[in-house]
Amino acid sequence: MAFLKRILRNLFARAEAVFDWTFGQSNNPFSHLGALGWYFFWIVAASGIYLYLFFDTGITDAYASVEYITNDQWYAAGIMRSLHRYASDALVIVVFLHILREFSLDRLRGKRFFAWITGVPLLWFIYICGITGYWLVWDSLAQYIAIATSEWLDTLPFFGEPIANNFLNSSTLGGRFFTLMVFMHIFAPLFMLFLMWLHIQRHARARVNPPRALAVGTAVTLVVLSLVYPAVSQGPANLDVVPASVNLDWYYLAVYPLLEVIPGGQLWLVLVVGSIILSLMPWLPPAREVWTPVVSLQNCNGCGRCFDDCPFGAIAMEPRSDGASFALEAVVDTHHCVSCGICTGSCPTATPFRRTSAIVPGIELPDNTIADLREKTMAAAQEFGDEARIIVYACDHSGAEILRENNSQVITMPCVGMLPPAFIDFALSRDFADGVMLAGCAEGDCYYRLGDDWTIQRLDGKRDPYLRQRVDRDRLETSWLPSGSSRRRVRDLQDFKTWLEGLPPKERKRRRNRD
């Protein structure tokens, strides 16, 4: 499994590098696949509501109403029909990429299982919505789907009377089943929306909107596509004639050719067993147990910053239990906490400048303490050679280990968001290093969701605890890159080192003294 993830990760890294170059890192669609899923859902929902105004829900007039939509009102309802189709197709594409990417990044394991297992029924609903939608057009493709689906459903032992009898010929055609499809095509998306909401319940500040430029670019592409290749029907359904050939939408209908080669019952079995295996992925193999943060009430003043910053909503602020004069205290929900350490980075009491005896902050991971980080920073200073001395604080997912070979000292932690900004000040002002580099995941695509966002805001003085003004920003470098971008990471470090070494010795000293 780890090997498969590595291969996928490398493939994504290559594709993402191209998109980074084209769209810029913050608008890279790969970093916003979940948000794009929401976006396409809303386009499908809005265009669907518009189409419903003109659609005739009776089986005899459905086709004619869709023809009216497509031809007579091509400039409005016609475009809406195409948008409805293309946004639905795009939804399937982004969801499959989203699944593969989350899998390759391992963002499904251990306590992060929830989004994954709620995603599995979502997949089923996406298909129910798509297939029932194609049915409603009542053209020759819909006829093919209606017959194939009802024969397939008849292989299940639930239906007394075979459903396929409805579609034997035009005299047996009843509107009952068609009405059921209309009903399902309206209610399945509502249930899908509920599942989408459930899907992100363990995410604080879930990203459900793509960045504006990406949203506008995507909408314009869909409109242009709709004008150039409008969605059309494939000739009216006629149950007295078997359709000679139909054009399939492979995003939604790929299962139908399979029915030609696999018996329906077996295909159900494959899909159900496949879904069960997919649902078990977060535990294949079981994730290693990790420590969750410990709150030290002696040092917690109840400020709530850790509560604001936790990306997984794993901290609650509760009434004080130790009689201290503060109103609240932080309490960690160990079932939701994924041990990213970001709460430590946000705690105002997590600072290396305190006396060693008082170095325990309000909240920290027992296996990655602030005292350890301070020790490592001081130890790093002993290891430097003659070149510019750079301490790299890197997250475990940045692949920054490779930077060790470049005469720099790398201190890793679960997420860069765990690093209190005071450490940068500490390393520079105490002359432990000439420069500090922070190496984390790509901007807006942190393994722990929000670690890089919070770090950037803290460095810019927009979020507490912020980096003090006195720190010389020229001696701080950040490298936000996807894991697997080792060469670009090394280049970032080399550039920084070259810049630091290019400083005349006097200037280096002046800058050091200024801190």
Interaction with ligand HEM in 83-102: which residues (CB under 6 A)? Answer: 95, 98-99, 102
Interaction with ligand HEM in 15-44: which residues (CB under 6 A)? Answer: 34-35, 37-38
- Amino acid at position 152, single letter: W
In this chain, which of 222, 231, 338, 413 binds ligand SF4, going by CB under 6 A? 338
66 binds, among ligand HEM, ligand SF4, none (CB under 5 to 8 A by kind): none
Residue 369: closest CA among 434, 423, 308: 423
- Provide the mask over 255-294, with x wherever binding to ligand SF4 is found by CB under 6 A and - wherever it is not: -------------------------------------xx-
| Distances, alpha carbon 450 to alpha carbons 162, 182, 214, 388, 489, in Å | 53, 41, 20, 31, 20
In this chain, which of 31, 118, 233, 339 binds ligand SF4, going by CB under 6 A? 339
340 binds ligand SF4 (CB under 6 A): yes
214 binds ligand SF4 (CB under 6 A): no
In this chain, which of 9, 81, 389, 449 binds ligand HEM, going by CB under 6 A? 449
By beta-carbon proximity to ligand HEM, the closer residue of 180 and 272 is 272
Q: CB 372 → ligand SF4: shortest distance, Å?
A: 15
For residues 367 and 289, is the Cβ–Cβ distance under 8 A? no
User: What is the side-by-side order of every strand in the sheet holding 435-440?
Assistant: 409-413, 390-395, 435-440, 476-480
Assign residue 323 a region (left: φ > 0; alpha: ψ between -120 and 50; beta: otherwise): left
Q: CB 200 → ligand SF4: shortest distance, Å?
A: 15
Q: CB 41 → ligand HEM: shortest distance, Å?
A: 6
Dihedral Cα 250, 253, 258, 260, nearest 10 deg: -110
**Closest residue to ligand HEM using C-beta atoms:** 119
In this chain, which of 119, 362, 482, 484 binds ligand SF4, going by CB under 6 A? 362
361 binds ligand HEM (CB under 6 A): no
120 binds ligand HEM (CB under 6 A): yes
Assign residue 319 a region (left: φ > 0; alpha: ψ between -120 and 50; beta: otherwise): beta
For residues 470 and 332, is the Cβ–Cβ distance under 8 A? no
304 binds ligand SF4 (CB under 6 A): yes
123 binds ligand HEM (CB under 6 A): yes
To which H or E segment does residue 502 belong? helix 486-502
Residue 475: closest CA among 441, 505, 515: 515
Give me the DSSP letters along 176-206.
Answer: HHHHHHHHHHHHHHHHHHHHHHHHTTTSTT-
- Options 65-73, 143-151, 343-351, 370-378: segment touching ligand SF4 (CB under 6 A): 343-351
* CB-based contacts of 398, cutoff 8 Å, min separation 6: 416, 439, 440, 441, 479, 481, 483, 489
Q: CB 242 → ligand HEM: shortest distance, Å?
A: 35
In this chain, which of 145, 310, 422, 437 binds ligand SF4, going by CB under 6 A? 310
Spatial separation of the C-alpha atoms in residues 287 and 63, rounded to whole Å = 53
347 binds ligand SF4 (CB under 6 A): yes
- Options 15-23, 61-69, 298-306, 502-510: segment touching ligand SF4 (CB under 6 A): 298-306
In this chain, which of 9, 84, 185, 207 binds ligand HEM, going by CB under 6 A? 207
Spatial separation of the C-alpha atoms in residues 265 and 287, rounded to whole Å = 35
> Which tokens hold the place of 368?
């990655």
Spatial separation of the C-alpha atoms in residues 363 and 316, rounded to whole Å = 13
Sign of CA dihedral 189, 195, 198, 199: negative
Q: CB 445 → ligand SF4: shortest distance, Å?
A: 17
By beta-carbon proximity to ligand SF4, the closer residue of 235 and 319 is 319
**What residues line the site for ligand HEM (CB under 6 A)?**
34-35, 37-38, 95, 98-99, 102, 107-108, 112, 115-116, 119-120, 122-123, 126, 196, 199-200, 203, 206-208, 449
